[in-house]
Amino acid sequence: MMTIRIVAALGMIAGLFFVFGVTLRDFSEGLFGRISRGSGSLRDEILEETKRKKKSALRRELEEVGEILKDTGRSGMLPFLCTVSLLLFGAGAVVAATFGNYFLIPVLAAGFSLLPFWYVRLTAGHFRKLLDAELETSLSVITTAYLRCEDLITSVSENAGYLNPPVRTVFEKFLHRVRFVDPDVFAALDEMKGSVKNAVFEEWVDAMKACQYDRSLKSVLVPIVTKLSDARIVNSELEMMLSDPRKEFITMAVLVVSNVPLMYFLNRDWYHALTQTVVGQVMMAICGAVIFVSAACVIRLTKPMDYQA
C-alpha cells in the first residue's frame, strides 16, 4: 500500500511538472542551485567566511564536486548529476517503501541521492591521472619547441593542434587572448596559470614568465617538466595504497547487505522479525545509515591528495 501511495505521489508530481511546463532538469538546477547559494543573507556569508558558521553538508558536497568537475574539465556534468541525484532520491524512497519499512525511506532516499556525487569523487583520481599525463606531454613538446625558437607564441601555435582537451583548450585560450584581445604575454600567462590546478604547471608558467625577461633562463624549463613524470609515478603508488581501504569497505558492505536475503533462506522467523517488526525495521534503518555514513567517510579520507580539503 505504501508503495502505491509513493508511486501515485510521484505521478502527481510528474503531472504538475507537465502542466506548468517545468522540466526535471530545471527543477533540479533550481533546487540544488538554491542549496549551493545558501540563505543569501549577508550575516550568514560573513559568519561562513570567518569560519564561525559551517556550511551544510550537502552544500559542501556540491561545492567540492563542482571544483572537482571544473579541475577535470567536466563542468557541464553538474546539472546532469543533480537531475540523476533527484531521480535516485525518489528511487530510494520507492525501494524502501517496497519493503514496507517507514524508517528506511529517508535513509535510502538520502543515500541514493548522494551516489552520483560519490561517483565523481571516486573517478576524480582517474581523470586527474589522464590530465597529468596530457599536461606532461603538452609541456614537454612546447618546452622543446621553445628551446629551439625561443618564442613562446610560435612554440604554442606550432603544437596546439596536437594537444588533447582540456589542456588544448587552455593553450588555445592563451593564443586567442594574445592575438586578438591583448598582446600582453605576461597577463595572458597569469590568466593561464589559474586554468589548471597543478603546482608543477604553475611553476612552469612562472619560469616561462622569467624567460620573457631573460632567455638564458630557459634551461630551468626541462627540470620542471621532469617533475611531472616523478609526481605521476608517486601519485600512482599512492592511489594503489588508497584503493585497499575502499575494497575492504565494499566487501564488508556487501556482506552486511547480503545477510538480509540470505536470512530469508536460512531462517524465516529471523527474516520476519527483521523486516516486519518495528525493532527489526529500526535496526535495518540504522544499518543503512551506518553504511552510507561510512561510505562518505571512506571516500573523503581516501580521495587523491590534490582534492584533500
3-state helix, strand, coil in the chain (%, to 5): 85, 0, 15
Q: How do residues 222-279 score in pLDDT, each as one tens digit?
A: 888 888 777 777 777 777 777 778 888 888 888 888 888 888 888 888 888 888 888 8
Distance CA 65, CA 81 (A): 10
Taking CA atoms, 208 is separated from 51, 228, 237, in Å, by 37, 16, 30
The grid coordinates listed for 18 are: 507537465
Q: What is the pLDDT of residue 28?
A: 63
| Structural domain spans, the chain | 1-113, 129-232
Distance CA 225, CA 265 (A): 60
Q: What is the pLDDT of residue 89?
A: 86
Q: Please list the ranges in the chain whose pLDDT falls under 70.
A: 1-7, 9-10, 13-59, 71-73, 303-309
